[in-house]
Structure 1
Amino acid sequence: MGRNSTRGAESRPRGRHDGPAGGDAGGHGGHGRSRRSAPAAGGQGPGGPNRRSRRAAKGGKRRVLRWVASVLALLILGTGAAGYLYYRHLNGNIKKEDLTLGDKKMADHKANAAGQTPLNILLIGSDARDTKANQKLGGAKENFGGPALADVQMLLHLSADRSNISVVSMPRDTMLKMPKCTDPDSGKVFPASTVPVQTNESLERGGPGCTVAAWYELTGITIDHFMMIDFSGVVSMADAVGGVPVCVDANVYSHTRDGKGSGLKLEKGTTSVKGKQALQWLRTRYGFEDNTDLGRTKAQHQYLNSMVRELRKGTKLTDPGKLTGLAEAATTALTVDKGLDSVKKLYDLASELQKAPTDRITMTTMPNVYGTGNLSGRVFPKPEEAEQVFRMVREDVPLDGKASKRKAPVVKDPADAPADIAVSVRNATGTDTLGPAQGRAGTVKGLLKDSGFTRALVDSQNVEGAARTGVLFPSADLEGDAQAVAKALGIPVSQVKKSTDVSGIVLAVGADWREDGAYPAKAEDEKTPESANPLNGAEKKCMKVNPGFTF
């Protein structure tokens, strides 16, 4: 995206009704399953001599695919002069920006027992109208050259064991308090907002790094990378893929009398969309479900799932021309963080994403509630349920409800006797709407002493509220002690975290334990709330068309 369009420009009116779609999450898959060769004329059926010939035919196909892959690897990664020049050309296509512009340092990932860590990638769709191509596709001439908005935001989480992928979308109409961000080019400081503003405004506060910072402050999820795409990028990617099948349950025409709508016009059933029509699908608000951004988000999920399925068939990746076209489109269309500044790094990331099977991809929407009064039509994170989704991502819990391959962490240093373990108890029960519950730290300290932790003390300093109770420890030699504290109070071991912000073991009593009694751990906390509208990557669905937009 053009940097000048996002830096220090005057704000334009908010709430455009058909913002972009944005972030294509490129799926990368292996070779498709070869069709079984028919017996040669006069040959015998199964078990006969021609079984060997069928094996040979299959082996030949595999060799061809391996050969094509090798040629493409030489072409793209380049061992010869021409390949090297092309590799540099692709690297030069990629636009790079800072990962985060916020003041808060993102926490380090905690490795599982096998030493693996998850990957979190923020996918951003920009509505920039800063080029002729984007202006032609985006319309809305009054917004040409204005600051870009992050009208699509999806967090993609790849589990540490690479067994599953979870995607959480945030509707563009979500109202949040923005963090302080500093533009890396101009040095302009955008102070933290004192009142909630629409989340898509984060992009104009310094670039995608501010969108990353806003996500981190809201969710506490460590974000490793971002990938941003604009209108023309969506079209070029859709063309390079060769079309993505989408389905509607009735004829649809996204158009209103006063000119609103994406212009999408499809007949009932399945259509392979590409180019401008793919962009229209991703931008459609008027015509799907209740004509809100929530319906549009569902349509985006269906499109991305379908794109992944198409790419994983392998048919798009065996033609050198198509693959190089896809490489050109992807590298030209994307703006990424500086940790993804080369084709090789993008390829390595794609290889990691490919390890999760399609039926373990789960698309969700952040649980939300509608605002009231002058914020009618805007949405806010739904208390408890939004945090539940964020927590599951933070703790690498699959959103599809299936058990992952996670193992309990191996603790090399065993716990000391409870009487020898010093614990500071903090009252972190405050929320955005409620002050800290009085006396909670003292009450929980009493529970610890009843369990033999006689060195437990109340830390009376003012602390930031935490949605969920946690036990923090500063170094590996105290991990066993921290887990012993959690076990004594019935706190899940997943809530025991290493932190450089503490000098000893700290028990932060969160908003989930405001009431007296035992810690309220619930088995159902491992389930994704229905309000997140989970959609499985292998599931093929048709979008529900709003009755007022049929023909």
Structure 2
Amino acid sequence: MSLTPQGQDRVPEQRRHGGGARPGHVPDGDRKRRRRRVLRWSAMVLAVVILGTAGAGYLYYQHLNANIKKDDLNIGDKKDRAAESKANEAGQTPLNILLIGSDARNSKENQKLGGAKDTYNTAPRADVQMLLHLSADRTNMSVVSMPRDTLVDIPQCTDPDTGKSYSALTSEITNDSLGRGGPGCTVATWEKLTDIHIDHFMMIDFAGVVSMADAIGGVPVCVDANIHSKSSDGHGSGLKLKKGTTYVKGVQALQWLRTRYGFEDNTDIARAKAQHQYMNAMVRQLRESATLSNPNELRKLAETATNALTVDDGLGNVAKLYDLSKELKKVPTKRITMTTMPWQYSTTNSGRVVPRPGDAAKLFRLVREDIALDGKDKKRSAKTTTSSDPAAADNRIAVQVQNGTRSSTRLAVTGRAGAIARLLVGKGFTEAVADSSTILSEDETVIRYPSADLQGDAQRIAKSLGIPLSSVKKSTDVSGVTLVVGADWRSGTKYTTTEDDDTTPASAQVINGSDKKQCMHVNPNYTW
């Protein structure tokens, strides 16, 4: 599920360090890398679904336990970690599981599948990243994919095996996080970006995907015209299907998952859509398949899945995975929602993408607040916690105002900190001052305070400006009440909140798990 501009691919010498892209020529190594990415993705998805549907088939726990590899959950700096998810009124807690597809070529099998001999045993990359959110009441599940070339801030990470410390990085591609100490650094990167607490991770290599696709008897996929993903200059996966629905398995399933040239606009966005369609169809197929009642077939699936898994200690044996499977099975297919993190191309780094301002933050908030992305939750009443410590008099509340209107695509609005500081002074907060020395990047306006005795003051500032109390947050990064004017308030003196808008952004490209009418549009240049 990579994202590069149309017609561009990585050049071989830049693979390890996430180098730029160039148009035209598609080296053999790049085609092999696409195949590997698909293998990783498919193995990951299949393993997760198997665990969510085939619990009764685990007939030999101890043998399977020995297959599972384990690693540390979060190896980032403690200050970058998100707070644990809050329980609902019934005492139930949501589960957030980061699914990671690794491109490691650290075994003969992975090397055979992966090729690229020059990268054997080099630092792995997290080319596939999906956050699976299981709601607290277990009525719905949301999956958020992040494009592999998304530019993010990677926190400081420490390798738990060697003790090596990797310094924090700014605006680096997210898939490089895995090579900085292991999957725990990818988890830390997600938490820093989204402020979503991650309970577990499951990392999958790319071995066994073809045999697993065969074992479940094929997955139904649909195209709206005959397709042959093959061009005169060598582009394409080789996929050849007739118009309508086909059950793909083995090599053909692999071709479907790696097809970019031939679907819609020949981009990785269309490829991601095809992968989501395949995943949803596979979930339905696995849940309906009689194959899963056959102990021998089930054993083969379980064997392959556990051999491919690396998990945190919290999921470190089959009994724990079985407990998770029982939770996943509670969600009906019609309440599974697949999305892609809203994104846009970077204006400063060709071929890379960045979280789409506003939309990405909103999607992360919905997940963080356990709001179903399919829009079928009951309307929730707004709840805020008012400080028990009363605020000081307005003219005695010290508040520092900072400019956070800069984004990855837009420059900061000059003078915003001063303008809002003057607005506060005019409202009677005479100790409000602007910090003109600092320019930040903050998607949404936020008020931070360092300790409980200042919560009331921070909330008083929020109320005076019409900022929701949910935007008032405790933080050890500030020494006093600090208002950061975000990219959502680039002009004017009236703050407009979208807090009550809990609809999933259209840019998240929602696909529902029960939608059997999904059908990929074929690019007219790739029909036969």
TM class by smaller structure: 0.7 to 0.9
Report the equivalent of 1:438: 417
Q: Deviations over 1:500-542 (max 9, x none)?
A: 6678876654332343433211368422222222111111311
Report the equivalent of 2:318: 343
Deviates more, 1:344-353 or 1:431-440: 431-440
Q: 1:413 to 1:221 in 2, by over 3 A?
A: closer
Contact 2:399 2:480 in 1 (8 A): no
Contact 2:400 2:481 in 1 (8 A): no
Contact 1:426 1:463 in 2 (8 A): no
1:530-541 equivalences under 5 Å are 530-540=506-516, 541=518
Report the equivalent of 1:332: 307
Deviates more, 1:235-244 or 1:461-470: 461-470
Q: 1:14 to 1:501 in 2, by over 3 A?
A: closer
Q: 1:95 to 1:463 in 2, by over 3 A?
A: farther
Q: 1:363: Cα distance to partner? A: 1.5
State the alpha-carbon separation in 1 of the partners of residues 292 and 278 from structure 2.
19
Report the equivalent of 2:49: 27
Q: Deviations over 1:322-351 (max 9, x none)?
A: 333332222112112222111122222222
The amino acid of 2:49's aligned partner reads G
1:211-360 equivalences under 5 Å are 211-257=186-232, 259-313=234-288, 315-360=290-335
Contact 2:80 2:191 in 1 (8 A): no
State the alpha-carbon separation in 2 of the partners of residues 107 and 423 from structure 1.
28
Q: Percent identity?
A: 57
1:23-422 equivalences under 5 Å are 23-24=44-45, 26-27=48-49, 76=58, 86-103=60-77, 104-111=79-86, 112-140=88-116, 143-194=119-170, 196-257=171-232, 259-313=234-288, 315-371=290-346, 375-404=349-378, 406=380, 408-409=382-383, 416=390
Return the TM-score normalized by structure 2. 0.78
State the alpha-carbon separation in 2 of the partners of residues 95 and 547 from structure 1.
45
Report the equivalent of 2:526: 549
Contact 2:157 2:180 in 1 (8 A): yes
Report the equivalent of 1:80: none
Q: 1:24: Cα distance to partner? A: 0.8
State the alpha-carbon separation in 2 of the partners of residues 421 and 311 from structure 1.
64
State the alpha-carbon separation in 1 of the partners of residues 395 and 300 from structure 2.
61
Q: 1:417: Cα distance to partner? A: 7.4
State the alpha-carbon separation in 2 of the partners of residues 213 and 410 from structure 1.
28
State the alpha-carbon separation in 2 of the partners of residues 131 and 161 from structure 1.
41
When the two structures are aligned, how many residues end up with a matched partner?
A: 489
Deviates more, 1:498-507 or 1:377-386: 498-507
Q: 1:292: Cα distance to partner? A: 1.8
Q: 1:407: Cα distance to partner? A: 5.6
State the alpha-carbon separation in 2 of the partners of residues 483 and 117 from structure 1.
27
Q: 1:93: Cα distance to partner? A: 1.0
State the alpha-carbon separation in 2 of the partners of residues 172 and 248 from structure 1.
26
Q: 1:20: Cα distance to partner? A: 0.7
Contact 1:241 1:311 in 2 (8 A): yes
Q: Deviations over 1:473-502 (max 9, x none)?
A: 778999888767655644335435565667
Q: 1:147 to 1:399 in 2, by over 3 A?
A: same
State the SS of the aligned residue for 1:92: helix
State the alpha-carbon separation in 2 of the partners of residues 365 and 174 from structure 1.
12
State the SS of the aligned residue for 1:356: coil
State the SS of the aligned residue for 2:360: helix
Contact 1:175 1:198 in 2 (8 A): yes
Deviates more, 1:468-477 or 1:509-518: 468-477
State the SS of the aligned residue for 1:227: strand
Contact 1:237 1:333 in 2 (8 A): no
Contact 2:20 2:350 in 1 (8 A): no
State the alpha-carbon separation in 2 of the partners of residues 404 and 463 from structure 1.
39
State the SS of the aligned residue for 1:328: helix
Deviates more, 1:492-501 or 1:240-249: 492-501
Deviates more, 1:377-386 or 1:534-543: 377-386
State the alpha-carbon separation in 1 of the partners of residues 513 and 351 from structure 2.
29
Q: Deviations over 1:92-127 (max 9, x none)?
A: 111112223322441223423333333222222223
Q: 1:477 to 1:110 in 2, by over 3 A?
A: farther
State the alpha-carbon separation in 2 of the partners of residues 275 and 210 from structure 1.
33
Larger radius of gyration: 1
Q: 1:146: Cα distance to partner? A: 4.2
Q: Deviations over 1:170-219 (max 9, x none)?
A: 2223333443333333334433335x443323322332222223323333
Q: 1:340 to 1:247 in 2, by over 3 A?
A: same
Q: Deviations over 1:141-196 (max 9, x none)?
A: 554544433222222222333332222222223333443333333334433335x4
- Gaps (5+ residues) in structure 1? 1-8, 32-68, 77-82
Q: 1:90: Cα distance to partner? A: 1.4
State the SS of the aligned residue for 1:20: helix
Report the equivalent of 2:27: none
- Gaps (5+ residues) in structure 2? 1-14, 22-29
State the alpha-carbon separation in 2 of the partners of residues 483 and 242 from structure 1.
58
The amino acid of 1:397's aligned partner reads I
Q: 1:285 to 1:126 in 2, by over 3 A?
A: farther
State the SS of the aligned residue for 2:45: coil
Q: Deviations over 1:379-436 (max 9, x none)?
A: 2322222222223223333322333475655859867578599866443442344277
State the alpha-carbon separation in 2 of the partners of residues 191 and 129 from structure 1.
25
Return the TM-score normalized by structure 1. 0.75
State the alpha-carbon separation in 2 of the partners of residues 495 and 230 from structure 1.
39
Q: 1:425 to 1:475 in 2, by over 3 A?
A: closer
Q: Among residues 486, 498, 505, which one is paired with 1:510 in the alignment? A: 486
State the alpha-carbon separation in 2 of the partners of residues 179 and 417 from structure 1.
35
Contact 1:235 1:274 in 2 (8 A): yes
Q: 1:120 to 1:428 in 2, by over 3 A?
A: farther
State the alpha-carbon separation in 2 of the partners of residues 423 and 334 from structure 1.
53
1:491-530 equivalences under 5 Å are 491-497=467-473, 508-522=484-498, 525-530=501-506
